[in-house]
């Protein structure tokens, strides 16, 4: 078995069975307390919605808990929130909300929404006090949410032109739709967000960038949905499964949009197409979906270009044995050129238990960059608080653990071995990671290794 590879992420998710924010009690308040009557004491210490709770909700909850987003109820107004006070106390004190799965022992991440112990105490004390409203004049200004988006108002929205019908039951083969961008000049994308129209049915979406000189699926139809098996041509059918195209972004339920730091962006050459690769799952209700991607361009040409790469084992011939609780799979590869490591996005299916990204140092010491206690229902990205400059030749390792036993309450079939494959009852192991390289770096040149000591030129593949 050959795992010694880092792939451009474009090889991800191919078709086919083998593929793959502290409430500070001011000293003033404390002094007032000492001097005041018992009734005034209560008023000074009990958190109120407008003054104490709402700022926390705005910063840590409303990205999901507002109209049209993924959470079941909005937590925006007092009326909407008060009935949820006890549930909020329960979910925040057990750290189920906000969702975050990185082991705090490793790394720190700029997108970590976790509450501080003081914030948890504030929400709990508010619930204990029967959710007092307080004075609306204490409310912070309402955050500005672009209508329907978590990124700022998109410059361009690219929508799949035709709706895809999703049946009531059964597996749905990966569905593609190729959409011309119509960009007459090269574009740098600072932010992007995928917006499914039927969220319940979208297991993942990958949006690829197909430059005009790419032959990938060139003779496949434009602007209409198709699957690999619906293509007449055998060569086209195989092509659907494997591409060298770069990804604009990947979406899974709960995942956050891409927002690259200033000076970094994804590159979309003039006249590129976007290729939507949709994995729909059925749930007993027929539906149609018409996914869009919102794009915000960089205001200045960036200094660095972002590539999404992957450490993946999407082709293992050995199934995960039945009943095994801690099945370990490891992949590693060396970085072909210098790059700045930005973020991670681990992907597994229902048996996924834990996922780690490590650097193996020359003395074989293992440095863990991220450990995720994986949840299939919360596929999040994890962005390093401090991007990390890595030298060419750095050995990276991804390790995944699977629970194929009965103890895994999401396990659809603990009695059977699990094959590797696309559908959720199969397993996958893909460790996506994003790196930044100088803006003028061509993707394929990045994968050509520098001359090694023997003078041999080695290709990443
Ligand atoms: C990344 C999106 C996201 C964020 C951020 C988030 N939630 Fe949620 N929340 C959800 C989703 C989706 C559900 C429903 C599924 C579930 O319970 O796991 C949920 C469920 C809940 C529930 C339970 C609702 C019920 O039906 O019992 C509560 C209470 C809750 N969230 C409170 C919060 C609070 C308070 C915060 C911020 C401190 C927060 N959430 C942050 C997505 C989010």
pLDDT digits (tens, 9 = 90+) for 339-376: 999 999 999 999 999 999 999 999 999 999 999 999 88
Nearest CA to ligand 1 atom 19: 71
pLDDT of amino acid 38: 40
Cα–Cα distance for residue pair 361/331, rounded to 1 Å: 15
| 148-300 classified as CATH 2.170.150.20 | no
Cα–Cα distance for residue pair 22/47, rounded to 1 Å: 12
Gyration radius from the chain CA atoms: 24
Say if ligand 1 is within 6 A of residue 98 CB: yes
How far does residue 74's CA lie from ligand 1's centre (Å)? 9
Say if ligand 1 is within 6 A of residue 88 CB: yes
How far does residue 63's CA lie from ligand 1's centre (Å)? 10
* Bridge partners, 263 (sequence order): none
pLDDT of amino acid 450: 60
For residue 335 the two structure tokens come to 């970085």
pLDDT of amino acid 178: 97
pLDDT band with cut points at 50, 70 and 90 for residue 44: low
Cα–Cα distance for residue pair 397/6, rounded to 1 Å: 10
| Domains in the chain: boundaries | 27-138, 148-300
CA contacts within 13 A on the Cβ side of 72: 2
Instruction: Dump pLDDT digits (tens) for 110-126.
Output: 999 999 999 999 999 99
Cα–Cα distance for residue pair 301/50, rounded to 1 Å: 41
Q: For the chain, what is the mean pLDDT? A: 86
Atom of ligand 1 nearest to the CA of 380: 1
Cα–Cα distance for residue pair 110/92, rounded to 1 Å: 20
3-state class (DSSP) for residue 371: strand
How far does residue 65's CA lie from ligand 1's centre (Å)? 7
- Rounded average pLDDT over 218-225: 94
Our mutation pick for probing the ligand 1 site, out of 68, 70, 97, counting the most ligand atoms within 8 A of Cβ, is 97
DSSP string of 243-258?
Answer: --PEEEEEE-TTPPPE
Say if ligand 1 is within 6 A of residue 65 CB: yes
């Amino acid at each position: 078995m050959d795992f010694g590879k880092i792939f451009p992420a474009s090889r991800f998710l191919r078709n086919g069975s083998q593929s793959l924010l502290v409430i500070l009690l001011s000293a003033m308040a404390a002094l007032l307390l000492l001097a005041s009557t018992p009734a005034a004491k209560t008023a000074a210490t009990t958190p109120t919605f407008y003054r104490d709770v709402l700022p926390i909700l705005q910063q840590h909850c409303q990205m999901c808990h507002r109209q049209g987003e993924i959470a079941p109820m909005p937590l925006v107004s007092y009326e909407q929130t008060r009935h949820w006070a006890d549930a909020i106390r329960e979910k925040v004190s057990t750290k189920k909300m906000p969702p975050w799965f990185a082991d705090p022992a490793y790394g720190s991440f700029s997108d970590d929404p976790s509450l501080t112990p003081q914030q948890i105490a504030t929400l709990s004390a508010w619930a204990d006090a029967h959710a007092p409203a307080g004075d609306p004049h204490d409310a912070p200004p309402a955050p500005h949410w672009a209508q329907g988006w978590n990124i700022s108002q998109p410059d361009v929205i690219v929508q799949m032109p035709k709706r895809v019908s999703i049946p009531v039951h059964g597996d749905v083969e990966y569905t593609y739709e190729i959409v011309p961008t119509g960009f007459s000049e090269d574009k740098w994308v600072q932010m992007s967000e995928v917006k499914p129209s039927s969220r319940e049915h979208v297991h993942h979406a990958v949006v690829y960038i197909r430059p005009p000189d790419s032959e990938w699926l060139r003779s496949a139809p434009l602007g209409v949905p198709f699957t690999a098996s619906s293509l007449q041509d055998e060569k086209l059918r195989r092509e659907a499964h494997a591409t060298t195209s770069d990804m604009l972004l990947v979406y899974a339920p709960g995942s956050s949009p891409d927002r690259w730091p200033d000076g970094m962006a994804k590159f979309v050459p003039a006249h590129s197409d976007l290729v939507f690769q949709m994995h729909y799952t059925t749930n007993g209700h027929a539906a149609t979906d018409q996914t869009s991607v919102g794009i915000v361009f960089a205001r200045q040409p960036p200094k660095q270009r972002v590539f999404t790469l992957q450490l993946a084992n999407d082709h293992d011939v050995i199934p995960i044995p039945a009943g095994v609780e801690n099945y370990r799979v490891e992949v590693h590869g060396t970085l072909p050129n210098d790059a700045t490591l930005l973020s991670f996005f681990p992907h597994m299916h229902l048996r996924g238990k834990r996922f780690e990204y490590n650097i193996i140092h020359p003395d074989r010491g293992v440095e863990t960059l991220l450990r995720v206690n994986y949840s299939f229902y919360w596929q999040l990205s994890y962005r390093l608080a401090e991007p990390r400059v890595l030298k060419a030749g750095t050995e990276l390792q991804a390790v995944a653990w699977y629970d194929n036993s009965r103890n895994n309450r999401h396990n659809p079939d603990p009695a059977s071995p699990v094959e590797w494959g696309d559908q959720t009852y199969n397993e996958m192991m893909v460790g996506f990671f994003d790196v930044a390289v100088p803006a003028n770096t061509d993707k394929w040149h990045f994968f050509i290794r520098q001359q090694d000591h023997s003078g041999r030129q080695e290709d990443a593949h």
